[in-house]
Amino acid sequence: MRPWNEVKIIDCKEPLVSLPSSIHCLNPHPYLSLGAPYGEGVDPWRLRIDVVRRLLIAQEYLFSDHSNLKFAVFDAWRPIPVQSFMVHYTIEQECRQRGINPELKENLSQLNDVMKLVNKYWAQPSLDPCTPPPHSTGAAIDLTLADVNGLPIDMGGPIDAIGAISEPNYYAQYGAQPSSSLYDTRRKLLLKVMSKAGFVQHPHEWWHYSFGDQLWAWTNCVSQAIYGAWDEDNKSMIA
């Protein structure tokens, strides 16, 4: 449970819509490429209507000050099965990097440490309507800054990195290399334009922003969220 999961959800029943061509999406889709189960013919590049509207506004704010930059969207709506797939994939990758065999009982303590760390960055694939993963609501988006050709610029750490480098203010607080100031400036620019359009940033991920979900309501001290999990099969919200 995260603190914002205590926020009540009253879904406004606003549908998902595809991102317009003026918003650059990184293709091939990173999770589809891994085999994530979106379902045949399902468009992952979708968000709630007002979230898309605000994203376009944020990009205009970016253009007005930095005409050489634009957004590059990494991920948008994410159904629960995909959330589950990616949580397990991330745990497996982290175990592999640490040389941990999760099948061995003697590694249980280390496996628990990995799972605890991954849980800091990845929401559990909960089917409980009171605790939906942010991306399953169509309210959250993962994005970065890119040049005019759509090539992402260096933000000091890749999207989905597990560890302190993903903290939004990492380079302001702990960065020691000469490029720290540059990375901090770029992250702050993304935060500035997204915040101006009404989005809130995930406390542990420089790339994750949302509007209308529980995190957004909790951050802004709003009594209720307006977006719950979207059930693609029924074309409606999970009740």
176-221 confidence digits (pLDDT tens)? 677 899 999 999 999 999 999 999 999 999 999 999 999 999 999 9
Tell me which residues are annotated as active site: 205
Residue 43 in this model has a pLDDT that exceeds 60: yes
Give the percent of the chain with pLDDT over 90: 86
The type of residue at 115 is M
Q: What architecture (CATH level 2) is domain 3-35+43-84+128-237?
A: 2-Layer Sandwich (3.30)
How far, in Å, CA of 5 to CA of 133, rounded? 9
Query: Rounded to the nearest 5 degrees, what angle is found at the Cα of 89, between the Cα atoms of 87 and 94?
Result: 95
- In sequence order, the 6+-apart residues with CB closer than 8 A to the CB of 124 are 83, 87, 131, 133
Model pTM score: 0.94
Q: What is the domain partition of the chain in residue ranges?
A: 3-35+43-84+128-237
